[in-house]
Amino acid sequence: MRIRKKNWFEDEMASNRAIVKEPTEHKGHWHEFFGNDNPIHIEIGCGKGQFLSAMSKQNPDINYIGIEREPQIIVTALKKSRLAETDTNIAFFIADVANLGEIFDSGEISRIYTNFADPWHRKRKWAKRRLTHKNFLNIYEGLFGENGGELFMKTDNKVLFEFSLNEIADKGWRLHNISLDLHNSDFEGNIMTEYEERFSAMGMPIYRLEGYYKKTPL
Per-residue pLDDT of 5-33, as tens digits, reads 556 667 766 667 778 889 999 999 999 99
pLDDT for position 166? 97
Average pLDDT of span 147-151: 96
pLDDT for position 36? 96
Q: What residues form DSSP beta bridges with 155?
A: 207
Comparing CA positions, the residue from 72, 212, 217 lying closest to residue 150 is: 212
CA distance readout (Å), 179 to 90, 117, 126, 157: 28, 17, 25, 13
Percentage of residues of the chain with pLDDT beyond 70:
86
Q: Examine the pLDDT at 68 and tell me if it is beyond 80.
A: yes
If you classify domain 9-213 with CATH, what class do you get? Answer: alpha beta
Report the alpha-carbon distance of residue 191 to residue 46 in Å, rounded. 13
Q: Examine the pLDDT at 1 and tell me if it is beyond 50.
A: no
Comparing CA positions, the residue from 164, 63, 52 lying closest to residue 110 is: 63
Q: Which pTM does this prediction carry?
A: 0.90
Higher-pLDDT residue of 125, 198: 198
Report the alpha-carbon distance of residue 107 to residue 143 in Å, rounded. 6
Is 87 one of the annotated active-site residues of the chain? no
Q: What is the pLDDT of residues 84-138, one digit of tens each?
A: 455 689 998 999 999 999 999 999 999 999 999 999 877 778 899 999 999 999 9
Instruction: pLDDT band for 77, please (50, 70, 90 cuts).
Output: low
pLDDT for position 187? 92
Instruction: pLDDT band for 3, please (50, 70, 90 cuts).
Output: very low
Report the alpha-carbon distance of residue 212 to residue 125 in Å, rounded. 27
Sequence-separated (6 or more) residues with CB below 8 Å from residue 27: 102, 103, 104, 105
Domain residue spans of the chain = 9-213
Among the listed residues 11, 118, 170, 181, the single catalytic one is: 118
Q: What residues form DSSP beta bridges with 67?
A: 44, 93
Instruction: pLDDT band for 71, please (50, 70, 90 cuts).
Output: confident
Specify whether the CB–CB gap between 157 and 119 falls below 8 A.
yes
pLDDT for position 49? 83
pLDDT for position 48? 79
Instruction: pLDDT band for 4, please (50, 70, 90 cuts).
Output: low
Comparing CA positions, the residue from 161, 157, 134, 137 lying closest to residue 149 is: 137
